[in-house]
Each structure stands twice: as C-alpha cells, then as structure tokens.
Amino acid sequence: MTNPGDVILYKNYQFKDGSNKDKLFVVLNNSDATYPCLVLKTTSQHKRYDGATEGCNTGRKKTFFIPATWKECFQADTFIQLPIIIELPIGPLLSASFAKNIIHIDTLSGKCLSLLMFCLKKYKDDIAERHWNMLFKTKK
C-alpha cells in the first residue's frame, strides 16, 4: 500500500496522448477500497520551470520545486506538477502487477509533504471537488 508522501516509480505509465514512459509520482493520500490513490506527476525537466524558486510556485509556473540540495527523495532538482491530480485505481495497486509496475522509491519528509499540501491548497478552484474532499475535508 502507499502512504502520503511516498514517491513511486510507475513503469511504462500510459499518458493521455497514448505514449508510455517510466514516471515518478508523489502520493497524496491513504488509499483503500473507498478511495483511489491520488498522485502528482514529477519532472526534472527544468526548461518549462526556469526561474522557479524553492517550494511553492503559484501563477504561471504551477509547480512545487524540490531542489536536490533539500536531500529529499530526488537526486536531481525536481518539479512536482500542480494542480493536476491523477487517480490510480486501487485494484492495480493491490494486484501482483504492483510489484512489477509500481515501485516504492522513497518517502518525502513530513516537513516537505506539509509544504506541498499547503501549496496544493492554493489551487482549490483548479482541483476537482471529489479530490479536494479526499485530501482536505475534515473527517468526523
């Protein structure tokens, strides 16, 4: 199972355009039979994010920048792409293919995850209500 802050490698992930590539994601929630696994894509391709500062970058950049110097889970400067949240169905995560196609790489520190979630809250209008409620709605 995955936990918030887990960095996972999804081997041969299929993008909306039909292309496939290994991709790193950051898990945002605890998933179970009720809730799918919510993730954000990462990239180390800085061209699109030139001028980004450490941490939250709102406005046109829409990224959370984790420099390699933070000594988090990434060996290179990494950008977590906001605010597009992707649902990974829980079924595949629980299947035997999990061990083959989805690999746990590392886990963000609690501080880094808190900063990321605080940043994500700035995009409430851009996040589907269903996802917002799974991530931020206080459970009673």
Q: Note the pLDDT tens digit of each residue in 47-57.
A: 889 999 999 99
pLDDT in tens, 76-113: 999 999 999 999 876 665 565 555 788 889 999 999 99
35 within domain boundaries: yes
pLDDT above 90 covers a percentage of the chain that reads 64
Per-position DSSP letters for 88-114, written without gaps between them: E-HHHHHSTHHHHHEEEEEE--HHHHH
74 within domain boundaries: yes
124 within domain boundaries: yes
Residue 22: CB partners within 8 Å, gap ≥ 6?
Answer: 9, 10, 11, 12, 13
103 within domain boundaries: yes
67 within domain boundaries: yes
pLDDT (0 to 100) of residue 36: 87
Q: Which DSSP letter does residue 94 get? A: H
Average pLDDT of the residues in 7-19 = 88
17 within domain boundaries: yes
Domain that holds residue 36: 6-136
Q: Would the pLDDT of 130 be above 50?
A: yes
1 within domain boundaries: no
pLDDT (0 to 100) of residue 140: 44
